[in-house]
Amino acid sequence: MPERSEGTAPTVLSVGDHVLILIARIFPAMLPWAAKPTLIAGSTLTAGPGRRMTKYTDFINYHLSMLIDETRTGAYRQAIAQAVKPGDVVVDVGCGSGMLSFLACRAGARHVHAIESEAVIEMARLVAARHEFQHRITFYHDHSFKVELPERADVIVTETMGTFGFEEGIIGSLTDARDRFLAQGGTLIPHSLALFLVPVELPKFYEHVVDFWVNRCQGFDFSPVRALTVNNVHPLKLHEGTFLGDPARAEDVRFTDVAHTEIDADCSFRVTRRGQLHGLAGWFDAALTPALRISNGPRERASHWGLAFFPIDRPVVVERGHRIEVEMRSGGNGSSWAWNVTVNGHRFEQSTEKGSPPSRTEEPSIRKKR
C-alpha cells in the first residue's frame, strides 16, 4: 500500500485490491507475487491475469527503493568507510542486492562473506561479477544461522531493520553472527538500536485501513476482516501534529552484549492535548558507529521505511492530563508483536497472532488432486 502522510488524500483502491493486500500480509505463501516487497515498496498492484508477470518487477522495485534511499544507503556508505580497513574480513548478514558488500570491497576489505536466504542473492552475484568482485566476495544462499565460515571477521554489517526496527529478526541474526563470526575486538554495524513509541490521532488513516472493512462493498459484508487488520502493523508516514503526547524511548539494545532476542517494554504517556486515540506510532534509531546514526523517525529525512502504526480496536477520546499505559512485546525473534493499551478504563489487547485467520488443517479435495 502506498505510504502517505496523515492529512493527504488516501490512494483509492478497489475492494479487490484491499483484499489482495491483506491476504498478502497474512498469507504471503498464497500470493508470493504480492508478498512483503510489493507492500513495503508501495508498488501498485496491476489488474487482471497479468499480476503474476509483475512478480519479478515488484521484487526488483523493492530493492530499488532501498538502493536509491540516500538516508539508508548514504549512512551505511559512511559507516563502512569508517569501519572497514584495508585487509579486513567482512561479513554481510542479509546482503540483499549486495550493496553493503560492494561498499566493503571499495573500502579495502580483503574478503567479504555475503549471506542471504532470498533469491535476490542472484542479483548480487551478477553485480559482483560486473565489478570483478567475484573473487573477493563469497556468497552463501542460506539463513545466517545455518552458515559456517572459514575465518573470523573484523567487521559484521547488516541492514535487516524493519519499520519498527526488530521485526526482521535483527537481534537474533546479529547476535548469532557476533558470537560465531566476529573476531575479538571486531566491529558491529549497527552496534545499537533504540525503539520509540508515541500515541497518535489518525482519523483518516484509521478509517482507511481499519474501518474501511465495516462498510458494505457491492452489497457484500466484509466486516469479519476488520478484526484481522486491527491486529496488524501498518506502515505509514506522519507528522508531529498527530501526536497526543511526547514520544517515549521504549527499548534500547546494544548488539555488542545483548543476550535476549525479544522486546519486552512498558511505556507510560501523559496526554498533552484533547483528541482521539487511534493507536501508537513507532520508529527506530540505530547507531551505525559511535558518531553516525540512522532513524526513520518523524523528524528525520524521509526514507523507504516510513513508520509503524499499531492500531487499537476502537478510538478513545482523551483529554490533556490523561494517562496512557502501553505494554509492547515481541515473539519469534520479532516475527510477532503484541501491544496492550490501557486508557480511561479501557484496555485493548492487540496482537499480530490474532491478525491471521485460523489455520485450516485440511484443504479442499479439489486442491489435493493438483
Q: Which domain holds residue 100?
A: 73-159
Reported confidence tier of residue 362, pLDDT bands at 50, 70, 90: very low
For the CA atoms of 20, 231, 41, 329, the dihedral, rounded to the nearest 10 degrees, stands at -150
Per-residue model confidence as pLDDT tens digits over 201-247: 999 999 999 999 998 888 899 999 999 999 999 999 888 899 999 99
Assess whether pLDDT exceeds 80 at residue 39: no
One domain, residues 336 and 206: yes
The bridge status of strand 307-318 relative to strand 275-289 is antiparallel
Does 166 fall in a domain? no
For residue 197, the model assigns a pLDDT of: 98
* Cα–Cα distance measured from residue 238 to residue 250, given in angstroms and rounded to the nearest whole number: 19
For residue 217, the model assigns a pLDDT of: 82
Give the mean model confidence (pLDDT) for residues 55-71. Answer: 66
Asked if 171 and 333 count as a contact pair (C-beta separation under 8 A), the reply is: yes
* Cα–Cα distance measured from residue 34 to residue 12, given in angstroms and rounded to the nearest whole number: 18
Least Cα distance to 28 among 43, 17, 39, 41 occurs for 39
One domain, residues 83 and 19: no
Find where cell 562473506 sits: 113
* Cα–Cα distance measured from residue 48 to residue 66, given in angstroms and rounded to the nearest whole number: 28
Query: Residue 56: phi, psi to the nearest 5?
Result: -75, -30
Assess whether pLDDT exceeds 70 at residue 175: yes
* Cα–Cα distance measured from residue 100 to residue 80, given in angstroms and rounded to the nearest whole number: 8
Does 369 fall in a domain? no
Least Cα distance to 253 among 285, 220, 208 occurs for 285
DSSP string, 119-183: TTHHHHHHHHHHTT-TTTEEEEES-GGG---SS-EEEEEE---BTTBSTT-HHHHHHHHHHHHEE
Does 364 fall in a domain? no
Average model confidence (pLDDT) across the chain: 83
Does 14 fall in a domain? yes
* Cα–Cα distance measured from residue 231 to residue 241, given in angstroms and rounded to the nearest whole number: 25
For residue 137, the model assigns a pLDDT of: 98
Give the mean model confidence (pLDDT) for residues 75-100. Answer: 95
One domain, residues 77 and 64: no
Reported confidence tier of residue 162, pLDDT bands at 50, 70, 90: confident
Find where cell 482507511 sits: 208
Assess whether pLDDT exceeds 50 at residue 73: yes
Q: Give the count of alpha carbons within 13 A of 204, CB side only.
A: 13
Q: ω into residue 190 within 30 of 0, thus cis?
A: yes
Question: In the beta sheet, which residues pair with residue 199?
Answer: 280
Does 367 fall in a domain? no
The CATH number assigned to the domain holding 79 equals 3.40.50.150
One domain, residues 64 and 199: no
Asked if 357 and 346 count as a contact pair (C-beta separation under 8 A), the reply is: no
* Least confident span in 24-28, 223-227, 230-234, 264-268: 24-28
One domain, residues 132 and 219: no
Q: How many CB atoms lie within 10 A of CB 320?
A: 12
Assess whether pLDDT exceeds 90 at residue 357: no
For residue 237, the model assigns a pLDDT of: 87
Does 360 fall in a domain? no
Reported confidence tier of residue 72, pLDDT bands at 50, 70, 90: confident
Does 296 fall in a domain? yes
One domain, residues 102 and 233: no
Reported confidence tier of residue 303, pLDDT bands at 50, 70, 90: low
Give the mean model confidence (pLDDT) for residues 247-273. Answer: 95
Assess whether pLDDT exceeds 60 at residue 45: no
Query: Residue 345: phi, psi to the nearest 5?
Result: 85, -5
Does 370 fall in a domain? no
Assess whether pLDDT exceeds 80 at residue 56: no
Enumerate the H helices of the chain as residue ranges: 15-26, 36-41, 55-67, 70-83, 99-106, 121-130, 170-181, 203-209, 226-229, 365-368
The CATH number assigned to the domain holding 239 equals 2.70.160.11
* Cα–Cα distance measured from residue 326 to residue 280, given in angstroms and rounded to the nearest whole number: 9
For residue 9, the model assigns a pLDDT of: 38
One domain, residues 203 and 319: yes
The bridge status of strand 248-254 relative to strand 111-116 is unpaired
One domain, residues 200 and 340: yes
For residue 157, the model assigns a pLDDT of: 98
Asked if 207 and 311 count as a contact pair (C-beta separation under 8 A), the reply is: no
For 1, 44, 106, 205, 358, the CA distances from 11, given in Å and listed in that order, are: 8, 10, 41, 11, 30
For residue 270, the model assigns a pLDDT of: 98
Identify the residue with better confidence: 284 or 37.
Answer: 284
Identify the residue with better confidence: 13 or 326.
Answer: 326
Domain count for the chain, please give it: 3
* Least confident span in 50-59, 285-294, 339-348: 50-59
For residue 54, the model assigns a pLDDT of: 54
Identify the residue with better confidence: 360 or 201.
Answer: 201
Among 159, 183, 209, the domain boundary falls at 159
Query: Residue 192: phi, psi to the nearest 5?
Result: -155, 160
For residue 360, the model assigns a pLDDT of: 60
One domain, residues 100 and 19: no
* Least confident span in 54-68, 192-206, 218-232: 54-68
Give the mean model confidence (pLDDT) for residues 90-115. Answer: 96
The bridge status of strand 336-343 relative to strand 323-331 is antiparallel
What's the pTM value of the predicted model, to 2 decimals?
0.79
One domain, residues 244 and 269: yes
Among 68, 96, 120, the domain boundary falls at 68
One domain, residues 221 and 345: yes
Assess whether pLDDT exceeds 60 at residue 23: no
One domain, residues 1 and 109: no
Give the mean model confidence (pLDDT) for residues 290-319. Answer: 88
Among 42, 68, 94, the domain boundary falls at 68
For 25, 40, 124, 126, 154, the CA distances from 92, given in Å and listed in that order, are: 27, 22, 12, 17, 11
Identify the residue with better confidence: 350 or 63.
Answer: 350
Assess whether pLDDT exceeds 50 at residue 35: no
